[in-house]
Structure 1
Amino acid sequence: MKKRYLIWFAALALAACTSKSTDTSQTTAMTETNPKLTKLFDEYYEERLKFFPLEATSQGDNRYNDQLPNDISQEFIGQTKSFYEKYLSQLQAISRDSLSDQDKIGYDVLERDLKIQLEGIPFHTEEIPFQQFWGLPLQMGMLGSGDGSHPFHSVKDYDDWLKRAASFTVWADTAIGNFKKGIADGVVLPKSLVVKMIPQMNDLVVADPTKSIFYGPVNKFPEDFSDADKTRLTEAFKKAITTQIVPAYKKMGDFLKNEYLPKARTTSGIGVLPKGKELYAYYVRFWTTTNKTPEEIFELGEKEVARIKGEMEAVKTQVGFKGDLKAFFDHLKDDPKFYPYKTPEDVLKAFQNIHDRIKPNVAKIFNKTPKTPFEIRRTEAFREASASAEYQPGSADGSRPGIFYVPIPDAKKFNVTSGMESLFLHEAIPGHHYQMSLQQENTALPKFMRFMFNSAYGEGWALYTESLGKELGVYTDPYQYMGALGDEMHRAIRLVVDVAIHTKGWTREQAIKYMMDNEPIAEQGAVAEIERYMAVPGQALSYKIGALKIRELRAKYEKELGNKFSLAAFHDEFLKDGCLPLDVLERKMDAWAAAQK
């Protein structure tokens, strides 16, 4: 269940952010730490990186850059099960009651994580090792392009990649074997998703190795490389692409087309699979870090959809549009004036303009800003067609920036009313870039907490920051505010359709229609979103569940503290201890509010 370390978000980014505060390592009090607990935290983190070297690479720790474990094999899964059990036993041998408040936070975070990982193993999710939305075959293209988290600065970096790439063939063979096991067990993907996976594999099959995305590092050799090293590595990369990487992708593509697609299912949700109902309930707990039931979430979603629809009606009236809300949605999608861009660069400049406008106000409601640089990049062509906009965190030492990827397959079809301002707040500043960078930069946190991602917290925070638009000086244009409402509606709709697909028997087509009836989204976008929820059950619930909890806490403290409430202080405290499960977060924030009194 390493999925919690994979995030996909939206948009584009900008110039480097500089810190106006002291080192965030000073933000977390670590007094009265329990030496035994601190030792356990450190050992857990170090041992975990050996199991998951791609996590180490993403964190800027290059010790394991030559490794790519076969993490979907039964041997590996058995080893990680023992690993989780060992640390859970050691953790529970320490008396929680004897710990300081700060140590209790770390204790609770690790205990919950270990338990939820162990709970997921019996479901055998490895029988669907990847799909169209995420998985190692897609991640490899990002890693090996020369623009991803795997560094290509030294000769060793290049040799490390060649060793890592060589292991991919074993992983690919295991993935095919796991898919076959899934067929035998009646655990298969929907056909509508498999047809999207086949071209993803085929796009990475090339006859000329120099045309491969994996040849990118060869085109970017550092100037200090010797001619001998350049010659050797060039030939080695060509050979690896030709004899290892391309055959692995071709084999997976052929298998998916010829063997898996005919066995794929016509249903949309996992509720029809063996233990599907139980698996979905698990995913809900995993992603929301709550004990809410699917039915509770469905009902909450319906209420939020109705509330936001009322806000949209008010905007429609404000701009003087005559017609119902559905007609207004069509107007926003169809009017040529909402498509002003000609090139991808035009889109990127528009996001830079948003950044320039919010800068003065960000400083008013945040005391601490990240040191980690930030960049905007267009999503790579090989995955652009099926990708959502996303944020990839930078390295903790600042050597690699946080990257804001946005797919722009056709700039002329990029709609200015699509919620560009809210998208920027969510993915960039003060959303994912602030939260993840400040967390990684805080060296006072136990390392496993510095690099942990809980979706309800992280995505909840990013969605909450969208609600700060008026405080940050945007949403002044009613169409941009409508875009922000569209984004909020989008997350509310997820509560309805995700649960309905996986527990109520809704079809892909029903869910697409519900989405298009309730928000201004093009059919292509609605299809991609619904297919995402089909591929990753429950993950989409985390955004709205987390954001609602943050808003609830902020409102409670504003009422309790009155003029003692500081929004900047609230934000600082919220971000201080990293990505916490929502129950742990609420206990911590309640203690903070009590101290303000």
Structure 2
Amino acid sequence: MKKLLIYIVAVQMLVACSAPPKEETQSTEKQASLDSLLQQYHEERLKLFPMDATMMGDNRYNDQLPNNITQEYRTRLKDFYTQYRDALQATDRSKLSEEDQMSYDILKWECDIALEGLQFKDYLTPVNQFWSAHLLIGQLASGSSLQPFKSVKDYEDWLKRLDAYVAWTDTAIVNMKKGVAQGYVIPKVLAQKVVPQLADLDHGPVKDHLFYNPIKLFPNEFSAEDKARLTKAYEDAIQNKVIPAHKRLNDFIKKEYIPACRETSGISALPVGKEYYNYLIKLYTTTDKSADEIFALGKSEVDRITKEMEAVKEQVGFKGDLKAFFVHLRDKKELMPFTKPEEVIAHFNAIHDRMKPNLAKLFDKTPKTPFEVKRTEAFREASASAEYNPGSQDGTRPGVFYVPIPDAKKYNTLSDEDLFLHEAIPGHHYQISLQQENIALPAFRRILGYSSYAEGWALYTESLGKELGLYTDPYQYFGMLSAEMHRAIRLVVDAGMHTQGWTREQAIQYSLDHEAETEEGIISEIERYMAIPGQALSYKIGQLKIRELRTKAEKELGDKFSVSQFHNQVLDSGCIPLKVLEEKVNRWIESVKKA
């Protein structure tokens, strides 16, 4: 790659000798210099974040898993981001093309937000029930997720990655002990939820262990010798490394950590917790909004959506107040028609089939990456939400929409059309796949994931249901309103718990009062916000910005407005901070006006 970049620069310099104006020559050199910097950043970053490489289908680092909660690793990160921030400062942004200026701004954001985050001690609370290494590694160990198991080398790579994971678990125990001493602990109720997750992984028999699954999935072309050797290696690793590591971690959490955990719900209870939450707002929303502003915005959105819900309740003829309607929907037998998990999967595929004829009306660019719907793995199903896992950049691994179905007979279909739009098509699958497939973008931008943009886009696509031929059933439309209400509530309860002194119980009750989710589902969600403060804010903040930009474009362009072209503007630069997106759409509006 370095030789190719040198060649490109050399060719540009030779072309420059044909005597273009001096200013143009300098601009070309600046662009070549920036291209080289961006590519170098991308390659060095993959070494620091090898899971990102695995996710995009780059298998060079599949055997690596950095111990990202050590001081050594954090120092490497600080040096890395400082180096590239300094290199950017030596680049004259004004001499760059419009697209390169966007790359410049994005890389500067990446460096600044990472360096700011390294000031905080989140490494002292490395384990929770929602986002944690034991959950990610468990998912990969299933043999049917992001980690490939197609070649003998793939199997050997995973053994090395497992060794690194075992080291991580031991560091996590050390760090949590330090956290206890320094007042950095997670809420007790969250630590208690980790115990059953680890309990599924801390004992044998080895052949029944989740981490043994790849052995059951050997490709047919493997030789008998390789199968025998790898089987023994996996059995040894599981029996002597994986099981003991999970047992050590689980024993520590049960015996030492839970008794030391806090009863409070919000992160403001931690040292510099208020400052950390302000940082997390910036990280997840890519805005400078304050917690108070977000709290008030959430309440305003809850009031607006409540009025729309009331109208649907009247439409279906329900006699009773909105809260009674929520209870009615949670228990409505017609919304729980399934008896088997595979029926739920078929139901989502049928939703996809219904909307296919209308997709071309809203999108003239669609991804090549394959797509499928799968049931969430059993070991994490009880506490998991529906989610999307991206496909590989080369298209060999499909994007997967995971659906938790712990009990098919209790599975409620109320928000399923909406859920498919968000997690699958045209939500995360379109956005992430088109970004990964866009070879015009610098490599580092093809794997970026800003929550406010990505989740904002997915939430925005939920509003496209009627344009796509869905929401013909008023209950499914109410499901869409319920999902939007769910995200509006997040603004209130997330900021409420972390800055307004709200308890877990207050947040649960507020949700029960304003949405149709089951109490079990609401509890899981509230505990998610406790585990990862700020992330839940990104959905509504991003959605409101994208909807605001569409409304502005429709108003200012009139007959010149094209919804498919608007969607291209949102999607074809990949995942970008909201301010960068707004500037881009405004430039597009002005260019269409002049055309």
Q: TM-score, normalised by structure 1?
A: 0.94
Query: Residue in 2 aligned with 1:151?
Result: 148
User: By how many angstroms is 1:145 displaced?
Assistant: 1.4
Q: Verify: 1:107 aligned to 2:107, yes or no.
A: no
- Asked if the contact 2:372–2:398 (Cα under 8 Å) also holds between the matched residues in 1, the reply is yes
Task: List per-residue Cα deviations over 1:67-90 (Å, max 9, x = no partner).
Answer: 111111110111111001001000
1:405 is paired with a residue whose SS is strand
- Asked if the contact 1:202–1:253 (Cα under 8 Å) also holds between the matched residues in 2, the reply is yes
Structure 1: distance between partners of 2:563 and 2:29: 29
2:302 is paired with a residue whose SS is helix
- Asked if the contact 1:426–1:432 (Cα under 8 Å) also holds between the matched residues in 2, the reply is yes
Shift >6 Å, 4+ stretches: 30-33
Query: Residue in 1 aligned with 2:226?
Result: 229
1:549 is paired with a residue whose SS is helix
Alignment match of 1:443 (pick from 439, 444, 450) = 439
Q: Verify: 1:255 aligned to 2:247, yes or no.
A: no
Structure 2: distance between partners of 1:207 and 1:137: 17
1:459 is paired with a residue whose SS is helix
Distance 1:272 1:230, change over 3 A: same
Alignment match of 1:66 (pick from 63, 74, 77) = 63
Alignment match of 2:521 (pick from 521, 525, 530) = 525
Out of 333-342 and 460-469, give the one that drifted further.
Answer: 333-342
Task: List per-residue Cα deviations over 1:537-569 (Å, max 9, x = no partner).
Answer: 000000000000000000001010000000000
Residue pairs, 1:114-125, within 5 angstroms: 114-125=111-122
Query: Residue in 2 aligned with 1:176?
Result: 173
- Asked if the contact 1:176–1:252 (Cα under 8 Å) also holds between the matched residues in 2, the reply is yes
User: Amino acid of the residue matched to residue 118 of structure 2?
Assistant: I
Query: Residue in 2 aligned with 1:141?
Result: 138
Query: Residue in 1 aligned with 2:361?
Result: 364
Structure 2: distance between partners of 1:199 and 1:81: 36
Out of 308-317 and 140-149, give the one that drifted further.
Answer: 140-149
Structure 2: distance between partners of 1:366 and 1:103: 26
Out of 537-546 and 331-340, give the one that drifted further.
Answer: 331-340
User: By how many angstroms is 1:593 displaced?
Assistant: 1.1
User: By how many angstroms is 1:113 displaced?
Assistant: 1.1
- Asked if the contact 1:33–1:103 (Cα under 8 Å) also holds between the matched residues in 2, the reply is no
Q: Verify: 1:561 aligned to 2:557, yes or no.
A: yes
Query: Residue in 2 aligned with 1:540?
Result: 536
Query: Residue in 1 aligned with 2:87?
Result: 90
Query: Residue in 1 aligned with 2:396?
Result: 399
User: Amino acid of the residue matched to residue 523 of structure 1?
Assistant: E
Higher relative contact order (CA 8 A, sep 6+): 1
- Asked if the contact 2:349–2:373 (Cα under 8 Å) also holds between the matched residues in 1, the reply is no
- Where in structure 2 are there 5+ consecutive unaligned residues? 1-26
Q: How many correspondences in the alignment? A: 567
Alignment match of 1:491 (pick from 487, 492, 509) = 487
User: Amino acid of the residue matched to residue 576 of structure 1?
Assistant: D
Q: Verify: 1:323 aligned to 2:320, yes or no.
A: yes
Task: List per-residue Cα deviations over 1:120-146 (Å, max 9, x = no partner).
Answer: 111111011121001111111111211
Query: Residue in 2 aligned with 1:586?
Result: 582
- Asked if the contact 2:187–2:263 (Cα under 8 Å) also holds between the matched residues in 1, the reply is yes
2:439 is paired with a residue whose SS is coil
User: By how many angstroms is 1:335 displaced?
Assistant: 2.3
Structure 1: distance between partners of 2:554 and 2:579: 20
Structure 2: distance between partners of 1:521 and 1:574: 31
1:360 is paired with a residue whose SS is helix
Q: Verify: 1:434 aligned to 2:430, yes or no.
A: yes
2:118 is paired with a residue whose SS is helix
Structure 2: distance between partners of 1:64 and 1:349: 36
Residue pairs, 1:81-480, within 5 angstroms: 81-417=78-414, 419-480=415-476
- Asked if the contact 2:455–2:538 (Cα under 8 Å) also holds between the matched residues in 1, the reply is yes
Query: Residue in 2 aligned with 1:24?
Result: none
* Superposed CA RMSD: 1.1
2:372 is paired with a residue whose SS is strand
Distance 1:32 1:376, change over 3 A: farther
User: When you count helix as a share of all residues, which structure comes out higher?
Assistant: 2
1:540 is paired with a residue whose SS is helix
Q: Identity of paired residues, percent?
A: 59
**Greater C-alpha radius of gyration:** 2
Distance 1:31 1:304, change over 3 A: farther
Structure 2: distance between partners of 1:169 and 1:558: 54
- Where in structure 1 are there 5+ consecutive unaligned residues? 1-29
Task: List per-residue Cα deviations over 1:213-247 (Å, max 9, x = no partner).
Answer: 11111111111111100000000000000011111
Query: Residue in 2 aligned with 1:21?
Result: none
User: By how many angstroms is 1:52 displaced?
Assistant: 1.1
User: By how many angstroms is 1:337 displaced?
Assistant: 2.1
- Asked if the contact 2:418–2:465 (Cα under 8 Å) also holds between the matched residues in 1, the reply is yes
Query: Residue in 1 aligned with 2:548?
Result: 552
